Structure 1
Amino acid sequence: MRTLFEKIPATLALCATLAAPVYAGGLDDVVRLDVLDGGVTKKGTYLGAIRLTLADGWKTYWRAPGEAGIPPSFDWRGSRNVGEVSITWPAPEVFDQNGLRSIGYEDQLVLPVEITPAKPGQPVRLKGEMDFGVCKEVCIPGNLSFDHRLDSGAGRHPAIAAALAQRPYSAREAGVKSASCRLKPTQHGLQIEARIAMPPAGGAEVAVIEPGNPALWAAETRTRRQGNTLIASSEVISNSGAAFALDRSEVRITVLGARHAVDIQGCTPG
């Protein structure tokens, strides 16, 4: 079974929890997890969703949560008849958290999950655990389990449909003409500067750079615009501290704007 999410370095994952006081309440007071049914698609895959419902004022995090967040990760062990799992991330919001930028969701997170059965036509059971972080005045790591047999006869679920509609635009849909990346060695890794020729996405755009390699992580991105070119720069560092090569084709750049978000896969040499 393919692993979809890798955890960021411990220094980043713990930054929010170490800096905050301990929350006196229980996790049950803050967040609830359930699995939604979306039936079977025309191509024979099962459509469902993992839903986190948060108490008022709480938020949880996107797959690249910024410097003050904990990214969700999944353990699908225990599932039955699950071949490939694909998750669609709705476009997140950008938050300022005690002077640090975090990226995530308020009130509710619905993650559409498309499952390709290992044995077509047979029942699919999703069983596993989700690790995540939630924050309000304090931040706490969470772990919740799930066990749900997907209903092949279920109809269209409005919450899943809404989450799918909130996905970022592709580069083509957003009118991206080109995306290039310039690399320069630094003391700790590589500086990356992405130059993206694209129309504005609205408001104060924030670009997020993901190296595409779980052994690497990117620092908070600085974003500015020159006319029709968006410029985003960051530093990419290896978890081990060793030298590394960065494959530009694996770099993923997400531009978060007031009107829409844009998902750009790969960049050319700059």
Structure 2
Amino acid sequence: MKQRLNTAAAAAAVLLAGAAGSPALSGAVDGEIAQIQVLDGGMTKRGTYLGALKVTLQPGWKTYWRAPGDAGIPPSFSWRGARNVGELSITWPSPEVFLTSGYRTIGYHDQLVLPVEITPETPGKPVRLKGRMQLGVCKDVCVPAELSFDHQLDSSAGRNPAIAAALASRPWSAREAGVRKASCSLRPTEYGMKVTARISMPSAGGEEVAVIEPGTPNLFAGETATRREGGLLVAETEFLPADSNAYAIDRSQLRITVLGKNHAVDIQGCSAG
């Protein structure tokens, strides 16, 4: 996922709406429940800075992936105050699937290390990574958290094992996972658009859960139903408009993630089918 520096953070109302149907939403998060720090990973061979946002949770607490599932709270970021940041790319480690009170959510428990690669606007000048991360954390209750960070990245830092482990745990690409074909059919519904993805791929292990992301902020996806038909994985969801404006679905921008027992798979785009 690539985003520009001026990416806006989601409003607090989004956090509240994202928790609908989840355990009771409490007030502001206690700083002891979730803490954040910036890790240094030095410079890459491409001349970019490598760092990470490390979120540490108290035992038993969890937070959410970018597509949090039925009742999770999606994280969002503000990079206000950052300096010499041109392009910024985030790598999400493979998440876990949780089932709580009958709701399926997707995220991480105890800790999240989120690698961040930064292309400086001015090569050779220092990069200051400053901003806020808004996220939800849950245990017996769910609470919204806003964690601030401010750190000048160390260009001379060496390999960071925590960042390396997070990068290694990313989902496999479609090629790495042996995906032969991914096609998507679209059918209008009363309120939105039903999307059916048919993916020719080996099993990712155990019970597979697919997530289909629309690739545009104008749409949001409902729960995805996933089933196996031999060598074919079939995933179905409904895209609903975020407002009353007209929308279009670009199949090349759809993102399908398959979460399995052995590994996860990241599929970028699908053909008509």
Superposition TM-score tier, normalisation by shorter sequence: over 0.9
The counterpart of 2:128, out of the listed 121, 125, 129, is 125
Task: Tell whether 2:106 aligns with 1:103.
Answer: yes
Is contact 1:7-1:71 (8 Å) kept?
A: no
1:252-267 correspondence runs (5 A): 252-267=255-270
Partner of 2:79: 76
Distance 1:188 1:58 in 2: 35
Distance 1:215 1:9 in 2: 18
Displacement of 1:24: 7.6
Is contact 1:12-1:69 (8 Å) kept?
A: no
Distance 2:28 2:75 in 1: 21
Is contact 2:29-2:145 (8 Å) kept?
A: no
Displacement of 1:39: 0.3
Query: Bigger CA drift: 69-78 or 228-237?
Result: 69-78
Partner of 2:50: 47
The secondary structure found in structure 2 opposite 1:32 is: strand
Distance 2:20 2:36 in 1: 21
Residues 116 and 154 (structure 1 numbering): CA distance in 2 closer, same or farther, change over 3 Å? same
What are the Cα deviations for residues 56-104 of structure 1, in whole angstroms up to 9, with x where unaligned?
1000000000121111111101001100000000000000122111000
What are the Cα deviations for residues 190-239 of structure 1, in whole angstroms up to 9, with x where unaligned?
00000000000000000000000011111010000001100000000110
Is contact 2:27-2:144 (8 Å) kept?
A: no
Task: Tell whether 2:31 aligns with 1:28.
Answer: yes
Displacement of 1:21: 3.7
Partner of 2:62: 59
- Alignment root-mean-square deviation, CA: 2.0
Displacement of 1:14: 2.4
Distance 2:9 2:231 in 1: 34
Query: Bigger CA drift: 250-259 or 27-36?
Result: 27-36
Residues 214 and 13 (structure 1 numbering): CA distance in 2 closer, same or farther, change over 3 Å? farther
Query: Bigger CA drift: 213-222 or 12-21?
Result: 12-21
- Segments of structure 2 that go 5 or more residues without pairing to the other structure are none
Distance 2:102 2:246 in 1: 31
Query: Bigger CA drift: 67-76 or 222-231?
Result: 67-76
Task: Tell whether 2:141 aligns with 1:138.
Answer: yes
- Aligned residue type for 2:260: G
- Aligned residue type for 2:227: R
TM-score by length of 2: 0.94
The secondary structure found in structure 2 opposite 1:148 is: strand
Distance 2:68 2:26 in 1: 21
Task: Tell whether 2:247 aligns with 1:235.
Answer: no
Taking only the aligned residue pairs, the percentage that are identical comes to: 62
Which runs of at least 4 in structure 1 moved beyond 6 Å after TM superposition? none
Distance 1:188 1:264 in 2: 26
Is contact 2:76-2:133 (8 Å) kept?
A: yes
- Aligned residue type for 1:139: C
Count of aligned pairs between the two proteins: 270
Distance 2:36 2:73 in 1: 17
The counterpart of 1:269, out of the listed 266, 269, 272, is 272
